Structure 1
């Protein structure tokens, strides 16, 4: 199995990542990707870019080296009401919004009820496109209940390659989350969460093996085919769908 885009990556605009936009695009091109979403950490993370970073996308080209660029953010979920650390106007300005929990923003454990309430609220946010690395054990939720809400609200659930490095306690949860997505018709995305070109190029191997083992259907993976990705962007009302379609179709 081979993806045609990565929808969750980082650049050195976040100081715990190591490569530029141009370097990440070149690595994506080498892999054979047609599109790349750069989603650096939103302002509540300690080493995130300044808020202006997320409001200045007109300064950037739509395509770098033959790769269509989706400019976005990994927004931090801040509370069990699903609050995010970007304003509505900032969220509107993004091509692609990942919503994730990070321990620096939601410290400690959540009860199952709290985690359910958090993700059910995020599911109702019209500006969130994808749910980031939600398999974490500290924030375990009812996968069947919540993926139904994700599917109903057209949220994509991410399978995250970087979790094999930094969130290993959640790896056993990935299969259960995938089973719930399959049962409820919830689309997924297979992403590296790369913080370097090395991770971009090598970060999906374990995920490919898991998907093949489970025989997960390609039609539910938004970045598995050209048609899937364009349809997903159109469904989310993304202006970049036209550019992506022009390259991919």
Structure 2
């Protein structure tokens, strides 16, 4: 399986990552990636960038070290209405938006109904492209409901490689269930490293293992072609 891009990477602007955009791009080039997403945390994450940061990507080149660059945000889902922590005008300027639940922002310990509703309503946002690490057991969900709505709304489901680490114990079982549902319903997935250091970029080993185990059709794996993600975004109105 040849995965040629990584959309979920963080820089020092996220407040708790270690590398710059240039360092991330250089490393991506060195390991042969064709495209890289810079998706720093939204401003509600403790230590995260001010909202103004997401105004400045027009100053950045579309290509660095031979790698096509996409500039976006891993936004925080805030409430059951599906609001995220970026104003509409900022959302519209970004190449790509991942929406995720994070426990420094959203209280854990609520019901599956609550967290499912948060994800379902977030998908009504036309500026959203990806749901991030929905296999996190801290936020239990009704997986089938979310996968079916992702199909309806043409939202990508992330299989997050970091979810297989000890930090998200129990995610592996849930991620497998989600991946199997995506296969069943024909929902496109995207593999993300969730890198907080340039050296983790393109680190997909555990996610790849899962996708091979369930024999996920390549047609549903966005990372196998740079054109797949660029065409997906252009169909969603992005001028890339």
- Which residue number in structure 2 is paired with residue 179 of structure 1? 180
Question: Aligned partners of 1:230, 1:95: CA distance in 2, in Å?
Answer: 10
Question: Aligned partners of 1:184, 1:124: CA distance in 2, in Å?
Answer: 19
- Which residue number in structure 2 is paired with residue 144 of structure 1? 144
**Is this contact kept in 2: 1:222–1:232, CA < 8 A?**
no
Deviation for aligned residue 1:138 = 2.1
- Which residue number in structure 2 is paired with residue 52 of structure 1? 52
- Which residue number in structure 1 is paired with residue 171 of structure 2? 170
**Is this contact kept in 1: 2:96–2:129, CA < 8 A?**
yes
Q: Does residue 1:70 correspond to 2:67, yes or no?
A: no
- Which residue number in structure 2 is paired with residue 244 of structure 1? none
Deviation for aligned residue 1:169 = 2.5
Question: Aligned partners of 2:81, 2:146: CA distance in 1, in Å?
Answer: 14
Question: Aligned partners of 2:15, 2:125: CA distance in 1, in Å?
Answer: 28
Q: Secondary structure at the match of 1:119?
A: helix
Write out per-residue CA displacement over residues 72-92 of structure 1, whole angstroms, 9 at most, x where no aligned residue: 011000112111111111110
Q: Secondary structure at the match of 1:234?
A: helix
**Is this contact kept in 2: 1:42–1:48, CA < 8 A?**
yes
**Is this contact kept in 2: 1:221–1:228, CA < 8 A?**
no
Question: Aligned partners of 1:191, 1:149: CA distance in 2, in Å?
Answer: 21
Write out per-residue CA displacement over residues 56-108 of structure 1, whole angstroms, 9 at most, x where no aligned residue: 11111111111111000110001121111111111101100000000011112
Question: Aligned partners of 1:237, 1:188: CA distance in 2, in Å?
Answer: 20
CA-based RMSD of the aligned residues comes to: 1.2
Moved more, 12-21 or 33-42: 12-21
Question: Aligned partners of 1:145, 1:59: CA distance in 2, in Å?
Answer: 40
Question: Aligned partners of 2:156, 2:109: CA distance in 1, in Å?
Answer: 24
- Which residue number in structure 2 is paired with residue 198 of structure 1? 199
- Which residue number in structure 1 is paired with residue 105 of structure 2? 105
Q: Secondary structure at the match of 1:75?
A: strand
Question: Aligned partners of 1:102, 1:116: CA distance in 2, in Å?
Answer: 14
**Is this contact kept in 2: 1:15–1:47, CA < 8 A?**
yes
Question: Aligned partners of 2:191, 2:108: CA distance in 1, in Å?
Answer: 27
Question: Aligned partners of 2:191, 2:133: CA distance in 1, in Å?
Answer: 10
Moved more, 226-235 or 69-78: 226-235
Q: Which runs of 5+ in 1 are unaligned?
A: 241-249
- Which residue number in structure 2 is paired with residue 231 of structure 1? 231
- Which residue number in structure 2 is paired with residue 8 of structure 1? 8
Q: Which runs of 5+ in 2 are unaligned?
A: none
Deviation for aligned residue 1:227 = 3.5
**Is this contact kept in 2: 1:110–1:138, CA < 8 A?**
no
Question: Aligned partners of 1:138, 1:34: CA distance in 2, in Å?
Answer: 33
